[in-house]
Amino acid sequence: MEARAREIADRLRSAPSVTVVAHIDADGISGGAIASEALARAGIRHDVTFVKKLDEAVLAEIKRQGPPLAWFVDLGAGLLHAMHGIDAVITDHHVPTEREVPKALRGDLVRFADSADRVLMLNPHLDGEGSDVASGAGCAYAVAKALDPANVDLAAIAIVGAVGDVQDQEFRRLGGYNRTIVADGVRAGVLQASVDLRLFGRETRPVHKMLQYATDPWIPRLSGNEEACVAFLLELGLDLKIDDHWRSWSDLDRGEKQRVVSALVAHMLERGCGARETDRLIGEVYTLLKEPVGSPTRDAKEFGTLINACGRYDAAEIAYRVCRGDREEPFAEALRLLRGHREYLVGSMDTIEEAGIQEMDALQYFHAGDKIRDTVVGIAASMALNKNGAMKDLPIFAFANADDGIKVSARTTRDLVAKGLDLAAIMQAASKAVGGTGGGHHAAAGATIPPGQEQAFLEIANRMVREQLGRSGPK
Ligand code: C5P
Ligand code: ZN
């Protein structure tokens, strides 16, 4: 990976100017910020643009503009077969299209998208690794480090990208090349990795709120119940407030944290949670040491959420400024967007209630029409799955209108994935069958399909869920 990063760095150094093209999610935006910061430090002229997705049309437009060199961050791999006629470097962790990467070229130090050496790609898949060993931001970081070893301070933002892409979720800690980045960040004094309660909101949420909103794991009797959370903590003798300030998890001392964690573990086990669920309370968490205590930019997961909130509402540039270190107006605007996002989600829950969740024998679904943005419908689906309204033993499929067709987001529980459910395969096959495209991960996948194809899509998806779970069809 480092050898490939050096090749790409050389290419960047010799370019008269570079156009960075990055994805609009937390990983893409933080990766774009890393690319731009590294280029700026190296004195390489460049501009940065963010795109919602890279399809043939977007790529054609970039080719038409004809930048001396394009640097794709957190996207590009999926269009490797269409990269002819452009000078480009790609730092991406998505599955690359196979067509133009002959087996013979795999294992080489440098990989080419086609026979001409105009496209260089750094991607863990080329080493037979999965998507989770490095993020798009992490791959961009590898190049930044190759441009200048002093760029290791950018490790902090690279970890925000990885966590924003939930790469720590499955194993409750980052793995693969991400560990090198963590080690770099620790050595550079910008990052701390520690084993701690891994619920969301360690820096900014009052402790009882952090418990109340816990979904991974779901804590019986506490999740969704503010009063019970307050009572639980008071019973442990915890001071929830100092003067007018609600204490966050980061305000607690070691002893207090240990008391709460022990009590939570006992609470979950006593209420019948298995060790696997209970274990999910604890994991590795990542703190950006140069950021102020109590700021959402201090915790990697909260930082990632802040950036994602901007990306979802067409404000990737705002988040990008924050990633580059701006703590003035863009930061204030990002905080406003995050608050707006939370309100939007509350409204989305009402929308789902009105639309109603329909059931087929192997799945459940709702259609949000124009009422929920295509960039948010996936989260809305996750939230619906976590609420009592939706059945947890059925995967949920959500539809929303988008510019380019109907957006579909599918979500399921870890339980059903363990039983054999693979939503990525379903989204890919079912969308393809109706003239769309899709993919993603086992537990969270997405697709875009032509309008009017929803029912046909659902029939196929329903049958596939049934097959994957080894269930027989309806009588
Ligand atoms: O958009 P959503 O949050 O539902 O996406 C979930 C996952 O599905 C993401 O990993 C995304 O990259 C993937 N996806 C995809 N093809 C699409 C839409 C989403 O592979 N057309
Ligand atoms: Zn990514």
Residue 438 Cβ inside 6 Å of ligand 1? The answer reads yes
CA-wise closest residue to 157 among 249, 36, 41:
36
Residue 167: C-alpha distances to residues 130, 156, 273 (Å): 11, 15, 24
d(CA 130, CA 140): 17
What lies within 8 Å, CB to CB, of 48 at 6+ separation is 19, 20, 22, 32, 35, 36, 320
- pLDDT tens column, 250-307: 999 999 999 999 999 999 999 999 999 999 999 999 999 999 999 999 999 999 999 9
Counting from 1 in the atom list of ligand 1, the atom nearest the Cα of 445 is: 8
Phi, psi torsion values for 351, nearest 5 degrees: -55, -45
Spatial contact of 278 and 137, defined as CB atoms under 8 Å apart: no
Q: Does position 360 have pLDDT exceeding 80, yes or no?
A: yes
Residue 377 Cβ inside 6 Å of ligand 1? The answer reads no
d(CA 237, CA 447): 49
Tokens of 237: 């003798």
Residue 441 Cβ inside 6 Å of ligand 1? The answer reads yes
Residue 11 Cβ inside 6 Å of ligand 1? The answer reads no
The predicted structure's pLDDT at residue 127: 86
d(CA 421, CA 418): 7
Spatial contact of 247 and 241, defined as CB atoms under 8 Å apart: yes
The predicted structure's pLDDT at residue 387: 74
What lies within 8 Å, CB to CB, of 68 at 6+ separation is 15, 16, 17, 18, 87
Q: Residue range 149-167: average pLDDT?
A: 97
Provide the percentage of residues in the chain whose pLDDT is more than 70. 95
Q: Does position 116 have pLDDT exceeding 80, yes or no?
A: no
Tokens of 311: 């990306």
d(CA 284, CA 282): 7
Q: What are the beta bridge partners of residue 46? A: 18
Q: What's the angle, vertex CA 18, arms to CA 15 and CA 20, rounded to 5? A: 150
Q: Residue range 174-181: average pLDDT?
A: 97
CATH 3.40.1010.10 fits 356-469, yes or no: no
Q: What's the angle, vertex CA 335, arms to CA 333 and CA 340, rounded to 5? A: 95
CATH fold match for the domains 2-151 and 356-469:
no
d(CA 135, CA 166): 10
Counting from 1 in the atom list of ligand 1, the atom nearest the Cα of 375 is: 1
Selected residue with higher pLDDT from 207 and 472: 207
* Residue pointed to by tokens 């990795």: 193
**Rounded to an integer, what is the distance from CA 320 to the centroid of its chain?**
16
User: Across the chain, what does the average pLDDT equal?
Assistant: 92
Domain boundary assignment for the chain:
2-151, 356-469
Residue 444 Cβ inside 6 Å of ligand 1? The answer reads yes
Find the helix packing angle between 136-147 and 155-164, rounded to 10°: 170
Interval between CA 269 and ligand 2 midpoint (Å): 35
Burial of 474 per CB tally in 10 Å (0-12, 13-18, 19+):
exposed
Spatial contact of 408 and 448, defined as CB atoms under 8 Å apart: yes
Interval between CA 392 and ligand 2 midpoint (Å): 27
- pLDDT confidence band for 115 (50 / 70 / 90): very low
d(CA 409, CA 381): 7
Interval between CA 438 and ligand 1 midpoint (Å): 7
Residue 25: C-alpha distances to residues 166, 214, 313, 384 (Å): 12, 23, 11, 22
- pLDDT confidence band for 131 (50 / 70 / 90): confident
Residue 428 Cβ inside 6 Å of ligand 1? The answer reads no
Residue 212 Cβ inside 6 Å of ligand 1? The answer reads no
Mutation to probe ligand 1, out of 441, 442, 448, 449 (largest number of atoms < 8 A from CB): 441
d(CA 53, CA 108): 29
Q: What is the CATH number of domain 2-151?
A: 3.90.1640.30
**Rounded to an integer, what is the distance from CA 334 to the centroid of its chain?**
17
The predicted structure's pLDDT at residue 474: 63
Interval between CA 407 and ligand 1 midpoint (Å): 9
Residue 440 Cβ inside 6 Å of ligand 1? The answer reads yes
Interval between CA 436 and ligand 1 midpoint (Å): 13
Q: Is the dihedral of CA 252, 335, 50, 323 positive or negative?
A: negative
Q: Residue range 156-176: average pLDDT?
A: 96
Residue 445: C-alpha distances to residues 74, 135, 379, 389, 451 (Å): 17, 17, 11, 21, 19
Q: Detail the DSSP E strand segments found in 74-190.
A: 88-91, 119-122
Spatial contact of 97 and 80, defined as CB atoms under 8 Å apart: yes
Interval between CA 319 and ligand 1 midpoint (Å): 21
- Residue count (the chain): 475
Q: Does position 100 have pLDDT exceeding 50, yes or no?
A: no
Ligand (nearest to CA of 378): 1
The predicted structure's pLDDT at residue 111: 45
- pLDDT tens column, 51-71: 998 989 999 999 999 999 999
The model's pTM is 0.90
Helix (H, G, I), strand (E, B) or coil at 120: strand
Interval between CA 375 and ligand 1 midpoint (Å): 10
Residue 73: C-alpha distances to residues 89, 125, 249, 390 (Å): 9, 15, 34, 36
Q: Does position 105 have pLDDT exceeding 80, yes or no?
A: no
Provide the percentage of residues in the chain whose pLDDT is more than 90. 84
Which stretches of 313-394 are DSSP H helices? 316-323, 329-355, 377-386
SS3 content of the chain, % helix, strand, coil (to 5): 45, 15, 35
